[in-house]
């Protein structure tokens, strides 16, 4: 839907699903909302749907929410966290289903179908069976009866979302069964009702020993799922994170996407800014998504070519909550808008969707629009500069993931290592190292494995290099790290100046709220700069050649 068509839809009342031209059948928003009202990785207040262990919401606000999700092309919503608690597991029983159905009724008005996240162990957890083995006849019957009951309440339910064998959540592997066994038992229960199983592929060893240099977390999804291609039922969608690590500022696309020829797939993005500023720091995700969709998957195709073909759905983790401006940071609204628009049409550019959002939000003032567009388009690069350039990744504080901690995860079980010592940094993921590059199409394997042809902005993701390694612009790797961190701080200062100059053109509330966020972003950028540069200066004992102050 064009900007003109969108305005016409609004003027017409916006009370019906808008016309959407799209090559992607399912545009899905996953909420990580807990039934206690807390939102996991949520940075915009409490849950819109839950409070104190119950489904509890403001019907008017939910209707407004459904309306604006529909307006950007979202047609599937899962309102509960993939990390399902025992209480939330009751959402597929008579205990909570009546309330879930009323919520689904509101979204249905706007052409949005509900998905419910379920616990794979539900037959034992809430069904009181002695097992959850997907091949056990009692379990098969339990899932079938549970699904039939759910569809009595919500006849157009899109299906169930499942996180299993992941981050201490039990799944089929715990019982010696395959991921296909686990997905299929639920899919077969849903099939008579035209429902689907959305099976997350974020399955990896989260108890890794840091001394083990061969186990490589990015390899996990491909290793677990690719050998099962063809074993999944037709109403199973494998939900694959776009990157093999975990929503980092920069990482390659997962080699699993598009690799499976006989299995339906969805690409999973993150609108909530877990590793990208947490809706405090400005970060226009559309810039990153344009790169993701444009990235090659072979010598003849890009990720965009798979959309609507081998990849039939686009999913994102939501960034909304009860804050008055929905997303905590006013400018973070652009990320939700961009997801909807680019999910409908992955060929759209960041420039196009951000321009649309700015006009719809702030009007037609050319000075304001150009300045704000420039800020948003630059924001991803700026954040990358003062955090982790060259796809180094992580280096964040443990658990909450905001702010720098260069060795925070380095000796932890989660397998997110940069392995920096006083001589070199990075992980060799070529055939001579962990072998990760061999999971890609031969064209990409060759491209990534050669440090001379590897995209420089992902150099440390694929290669282990000495600090004096010369980049294409003649700088050493270490000098590049020093420079980018200082540049990132300067660019945030530039954002603040730009925003201050726009004050007279902005609603006061919007100006004040964003100005406060930008002050916090500057503090964060300075901390990253000081901590990371000091870490490498102490580790290498190599000075910044420009003589800037780095703490000793």
Q: Which residues belong to the active site? A: 167, 246, 274
Neighbours of 433 (CB within 10 A): 18
Three-state SS at 465: strand
How far, CA to CA in Å, does 56 sit from each of 199, 323, 411, 486?
27, 16, 41, 46
Q: CA–CA separation, 233 vs 218, rounded Å?
A: 26
Identify the residue whose tokens are 């196009």.
Answer: 352
Are 341 and 348 in contact by the 8 Å Cβ rule? The answer is yes
Helices (H), 387-541: 442-449, 459-462, 477-501, 508-540
459: Cα within 13 Å, side-chain hemisphere: 21
Contact predicate 406/535, CB 8 Å: yes
**CA–CA gap between residue 16 and residue 31 (Å, rounded):** 23
Relative orientation angle of helices 477-501 and 366-386, to the nearest 10 degrees: 150
For the chain, the 3-state helix, strand and coil shares in percent, each to the nearest 5, are 45, 10, 45
Reference 407, options 523, 539, 275, 524; nearest CA is: 539
Which region holds residue 149: left if phi is over 0, alpha if psi is between -120 and 50, else beta? alpha
Query: Which three-class secondary structure state does DSSP give residue 344?
Result: helix
CA distance 110 to 71: 9
Which residues are CB-neighbours of 366 under 8 A, at least 6 positions away?
Answer: none
Is residue 343 within 8 A of residue 25, CB to CB? The reply is no
304 within 8 A of 291, measured Cβ to Cβ = no
> Phi and psi at residue 235, in whole multiples of 5°?
-100, 25
Query: Apex CA 91: angle with CA 313 and CA 59, to 5°?
Result: 80
Residue 466: strand pairing partners: 424
* H or E element, residue 291: helix 285-294
Residues 6+ apart with CB under 8 A from 511: 499, 502, 503
Beta bridge partners of 350: none
């Amino acid at each position: 839907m064009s900007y003109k068509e969108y305005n016409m839809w609004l003027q017409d009342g916006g009370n019906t699903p808008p016309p959407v031209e799209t090559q992607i059948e399912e545009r899905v928003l996953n909420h990580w909302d807990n039934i206690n009202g807390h939102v996991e990785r949520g940075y915009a207040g409490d849950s819109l749907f839950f409070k104190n262990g119950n489904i509890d919401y403001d019907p008017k606000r939910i209707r407004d929410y459904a309306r604006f999700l529909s307006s950007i092309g979202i047609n599937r919503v899962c309102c509960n966290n993939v990390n399902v608690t025992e209480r939330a597991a009751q959402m597929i029983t008579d205990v909570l289903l009546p309330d879930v159905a009323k919520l689904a009724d509101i979204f249905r008005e706007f052409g949005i179908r509900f998905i419910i996240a379920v616990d794979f162990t539900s037959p034992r957890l809430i069904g009181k069976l002695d097992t959850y083995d997907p091949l056990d006849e009692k379990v098969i019957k339990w899932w079938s009866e549970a699904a039939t009951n759910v569809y009595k309440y919500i006849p157009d339910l899109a299906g169930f979302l499942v996180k299993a064998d992941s981050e201490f959540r039990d799944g089929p592997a715990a019982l010696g069964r395959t991921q296909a066994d686990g997905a299929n038992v639920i899919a077969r229960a849903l099939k008579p009702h035209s429902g689907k199983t959305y099976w997350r592929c974020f399955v990896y060893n989260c108890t890794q020993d840091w001394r083990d240099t061969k186990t490589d977390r990015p390899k996990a999804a491909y290793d677990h799922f690719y050998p099962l291609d063809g074993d999944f039922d037709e109403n199973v969608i494998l939900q694959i994170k776009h990157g093999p690590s975990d929503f980092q500022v920069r990482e390659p696309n997962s080699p699993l996407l598009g690799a499976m020829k006989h299995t339906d797939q969805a690409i999973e993005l993150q609108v909530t800014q877990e590793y990208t500023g947490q809706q405090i720091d400005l970060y226009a995700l559309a810039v990153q998504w344009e790169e993701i969709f444009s990235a090659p998957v072979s010598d003849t195709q890009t990720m965009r070519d798979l959309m609507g073909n081998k990849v039939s759905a686009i999913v994102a983790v939501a960034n909304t909550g009860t804050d008055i401006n929905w997303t905590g940071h006013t400018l973070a609204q652009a990320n939700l808008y961009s997801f909807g628009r680019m999910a409908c049409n992955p060929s759209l550019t960041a420039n196009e969707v951000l321009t649309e959002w700015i006009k719809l939000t702030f009007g037609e003032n050319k000075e304001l629009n150009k300045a704000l567009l420039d800020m948003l388009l630059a924001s991803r690069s700026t954040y990358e500069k003062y955090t982790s350039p060259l796809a180094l990744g992580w280096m964040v504080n443990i658990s909450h993931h905001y702010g720098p901690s260069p060795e925070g995860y380095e000796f932890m079980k989660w397998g997110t290592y940069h392995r920096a010592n006083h001589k070199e940094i990075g992980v060799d993921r070529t055939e001579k190292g962990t072998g990760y590059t061999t999971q890609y199409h031969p064209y990409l394997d060759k491209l990534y494995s050669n440090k001379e042809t590897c995209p420089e902005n992902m150099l440390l993701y694929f290669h282990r290099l000495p600090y004096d390694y010369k980049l294409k612009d003649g700088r050493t790797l270490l000098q590049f790290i020093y420079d980018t961190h200082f540049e990132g701080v300067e660019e945030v200062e530039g954002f603040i100046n730009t925003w201050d100059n726009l004050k007279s053109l902005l609603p006061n509330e919007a100006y004040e709220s964003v100005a406060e966020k930008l002050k916090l972003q500057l503090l964060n950028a300075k901390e990253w700069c000081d901590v990371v540069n000091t870490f490498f200066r102490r580790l290498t004992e190599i000075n910044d050649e420009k003589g800037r102050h780095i703490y000793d």
